[in-house]
Amino acid sequence: MSSCSDLEGHDRGGLSSEQTIESQEHGSEWAASSSARMEVVEVGEATTKVDPLLDRKTLILSRDAILHVKPSSREACLVVLYPAGPLLGKRIRLEKDSYVIGRHPDADIHIPAESVSRRHARLVRRQSMWSIEDLNSTNGTYVNRVRLRPAVAEALRDGELIYCGEYHLKFLAGHNVEAAYHDLLYESSTLDGLTGTHNRRYFQDFLEREVAAAARHGRPLSLIMMDIDHFKKVNDSMGHPVGDLVLREVSDRIRERIRREDLFARYGGEEFVIVLRETGADGAKAFAESVRKLIESLTIQTEHGPVHITASFGVATSTGTHSLTPSALIELADKRLYRAKNRGRNRVVGNE
């Protein structure tokens, strides 16, 4: 990847040759103003006008005085958010006016993945504005999950997500890209790049804290483990991009049901977990059943036609009188999930 220097420029905000700023003699509010009868007194680089009728002063600063600041740095970059691997978190500085993204070794931004076409997409900068166009790729180029029409440029805004095959890239642009990049790295360490849910590492830390707090206060804590049924068939028959779409759609719908104090996370593959604070076995099982019905009712539209899926659930609860360790809680929920699979899938298994 090439390295780039900062792009610099001014934001003049349409200033005229003079910018007038007015204040009350004893006030702190400032506003643009003009006065027909004023006495003008030169004060260094600025000018003061005294209005004898209004008994107030107007300070006039020249354009040079206002714009005598160091130009702000403007830059842009892409950050790899998904999948996990050596490129995860990689920052690609955008320095030239045009970049081709593709699998071919000569591509400006080389992504060595079969789901990415040899010449997949092109990034173009015109007058500091960036756009992207699909180069008739096999799996398409998406911006914020909307597929681009081939050879039609789409303007990019700061923070938008670009999908090329299985790779997810975040576009950053503006005056403070460095800070945004480091914030994104922190998010990447706690969030799953594909679904935007919390990741397994964050879940394990969260569960450790919540189990300790529940035991200390004698309150129940429940864990739901969920697995999408026959997900491998979706990947094998329709391809991984469709499988990724299914995971994102399911995650988005479940996330809407999660309370602020609870946690929804991707545990791995097509498996997810939900931690419910102060929720007993019956409440957790009822919640899992509501999520099961939600997933069963989904119709996910894909390029290969609609997809209908189901999921299986295992529910375990640590009570105030009988507390489980985090590992024991996970093991129990996993066993019950396995039992749900063996009983025909698309069901919830909890305390029996």
Q: Which amino acid is at 317?
A: T
Three-state SS across the chain? CCCCCCEEECCCCCCCCEEEEEECCCCCCEECCCCCCCEEEEECCEEEEEECCCCEEEEEEEHHHHHCCCCEEEEEEEEEEECCCCCCCCEEECCCCEEEEECCCCCCEECCCCCCCCCCEEEEEECCEEEEEECCCCCCEEECCEECCECCCEECCCCCEEEECCEEEEEEEECCHHHHHHHHHHHHHHECCCCCCECHHHHHHHHHHHHHHHHHHCCCEEEEEEEECCHHHHHHHHCHHHHHHHHHHHHHHHHCCCCCCCEEEEEECCEEEEEEECCCHHHHHHHHHHHHHHHHHCCEEECCEEECCCEEEEEEEECCCCCCCHHHHHHHHHHHHHHHHHCCCCCEECCC
Q: Which amino acid is at 293?
A: K
Strands 98-102 and 109-110: parallel
Cβ atoms of 250 and 256 within 8 Å: the answer is: no
pTM of the predicted model as reported, rounded to 2 decimal places? 0.64
Nearest to 192 by CA among 262, 272, 259: 272
pLDDT tens for each residue of the chain, 352 residues long: 443 333 233 333 333 333 333 333 333 332 333 333 333 333 344 444 444 443 444 334 333 433 333 333 468 999 999 988 888 889 999 999 999 999 999 999 999 999 999 999 999 999 889 999 999 999 999 999 899 999 899 999 999 999 999 999 999 998 888 888 888 887 888 999 899 999 999 999 999 999 999 998 899 999 999 999 999 999 999 988 899 999 999 999 999 999 999 999 999 999 999 999 999 999 999 999 999 999 999 999 988 899 999 999 999 999 877 778 999 999 999 999 999 999 999 999 998 7
- Residue 10: what are its φ and ψ, rounded to 5°? -105, 150
Q: Which amino acid is at 74?
A: R
Tokens read off for 306: 């609609």
Nearest to 22 by CA among 53, 56, 67, 55: 56
pLDDT at 180: 86
What's the distance, Cα to Cα, between the start and end of the chain in Å? Answer: 57
pLDDT at 74: 63
pLDDT at 326: 95
pLDDT at 42: 38
Q: How far apart are CA 340 and CA 34, in angstroms?
A: 77
